Amino acid sequence: MLGDSFVFGHGLNNSFTLPVILEEILNSQRNLEIYEVLNLGVPGYNTLFEVNRFEQLGLKYEPDLVIVGFLLNDHVDEKVAFALDHLLREFLHEKNFSPKEVLDIKRNTCDIQFFPFEPAFQKFVYAPMERLANHSIQNGFEVLVFAYPFDEIIGESKYLNLLQMLCDSLGFSLYYLPEEVGYSYEGQWILHPLDPHPSPYANSKTAKFLSEKIQKHYLNQAPLE
């Protein structure tokens, strides 16, 4: 499973991370197969870095299915974004803003605003996804993409439509978690009001949904009740 800190499991014990929960669900099936879900998520990675990591580490495991967790900022040059984030945090700290005020300001001045959308999407999403598609053809594995909630900074429908067209053109399945499981950046879905990373509840819901799709479309089995 490829992704950033959301897939990696920021702030969670390993047993509550998405790949581990998904592996447990798949292995709870009543058959002789043993399934292994590798966690290749790295905090701060975008799609380009994720596919690079897969080429370096994941291909050698000869996967049957590659799962990509997609986030709104996956088209952002993370090195530049981190530098901007650091400068913004220092400035807000000097002005004595509270942690909640810092989070609100960061959301309203999200780093993706600093990047021209179309060329960034081409470089950091489309091109690496195309490489992943080539690997899938050459090595005989399928690709499933699931997306965490987008917001209105770029426009949810615009971003989702573009991602859907990309996945359709490459033969990837795409599932948008807000539509599929009601995922949101509020309440029991997140670690803390100041930390939107997935909670154990969110990972459990996402893993259950993914396991049903995997069993139905990739393993040709009926999902367990």
pLDDT (tens digit per residue) in 180-221: 999 999 999 999 998 999 999 999 999 999 999 999 988 765
pLDDT band, very low/low/confident/very high, at 130 (cuts 50, 70, 90): very high
DSSP secondary structure code for residue 185 in this structure:
S
**Residues with Cβ within 8 Å of residue 111, at least 6 apart in sequence:** 73, 76, 80, 81, 84, 85
- Regarding whether 186 and 174 lie in a shared domain, the answer is yes
Does residue 179 belong to any structural domain of this protein?
Answer: yes
Does residue 225 belong to any structural domain of this protein?
Answer: no
Does residue 224 belong to any structural domain of this protein?
Answer: no
Q: Which residues of 125-150 are buried (b: 16+ CB within 10 A; e: fewer)?
A: bbebbeebbebbeeeebbbbbbbbbb
pLDDT of residue 79: 53
Q: Write the CATH number for 175.
A: 3.40.50.1110
**Domain count within the chain:** 2
- Regarding whether 124 and 15 lie in a shared domain, the answer is yes
- Regarding whether 120 and 110 lie in a shared domain, the answer is no
Task: Compute φ and ψ for 166, nearest 5 degrees.
Answer: -65, -50
- Regarding whether 98 and 20 lie in a shared domain, the answer is no
Does residue 213 belong to any structural domain of this protein?
Answer: yes
pLDDT of residue 147: 95
The CA distance from 76 to 86, in Å, is 15
Q: Which two tokens stand for residue 130?
A: 């195309």
Does residue 223 belong to any structural domain of this protein?
Answer: no
- Regarding whether 86 and 165 lie in a shared domain, the answer is no
Mean pLDDT of the chain: 84
Kindly report which listed range (64-78, 130-144, 198-212) carries the lowest average pLDDT score. 64-78
Per-residue model confidence as pLDDT tens digits over 83-120: 445 555 565 567 676 666 655 655 555 544 444 456 77
- pLDDT, average across residues 128-151: 94
Does residue 27 belong to any structural domain of this protein?
Answer: yes
pTM of the model: 0.82
pLDDT of residue 80: 47
- Regarding whether 131 and 197 lie in a shared domain, the answer is yes
Does residue 70 belong to any structural domain of this protein?
Answer: yes
The CA distance from 161 to 167, in Å, is 10
pLDDT of residue 111: 47
The strand pair at 190-192 and 195-198 is best described as antiparallel
Helix (H, G, I), strand (E, B) or coil at 192: strand
Does residue 222 belong to any structural domain of this protein?
Answer: no
- Regarding whether 184 and 90 lie in a shared domain, the answer is no
- Regarding whether 106 and 29 lie in a shared domain, the answer is no
Percent of the chain at pLDDT exceeding 90: 61
C-alpha dist (Å) from residue 78 to 47, 60, 137, 195, 224? 10, 26, 29, 19, 39
- Regarding whether 66 and 94 lie in a shared domain, the answer is no
Helix (H, G, I), strand (E, B) or coil at 116: coil
- Regarding whether 136 and 46 lie in a shared domain, the answer is yes
The CA distance from 224 to 212, in Å, is 8
- pLDDT, average across residues 161-179: 95
pLDDT of residue 160: 87
- Regarding whether 92 and 198 lie in a shared domain, the answer is no
pLDDT of residue 194: 85
- Regarding whether 110 and 120 lie in a shared domain, the answer is no
Percent of the chain at pLDDT exceeding 70: 75
Q: State the residue range of the domain holding 165.
A: 5-75+116-217
> Is pLDDT larger for residue 22 or for residue 113?
22
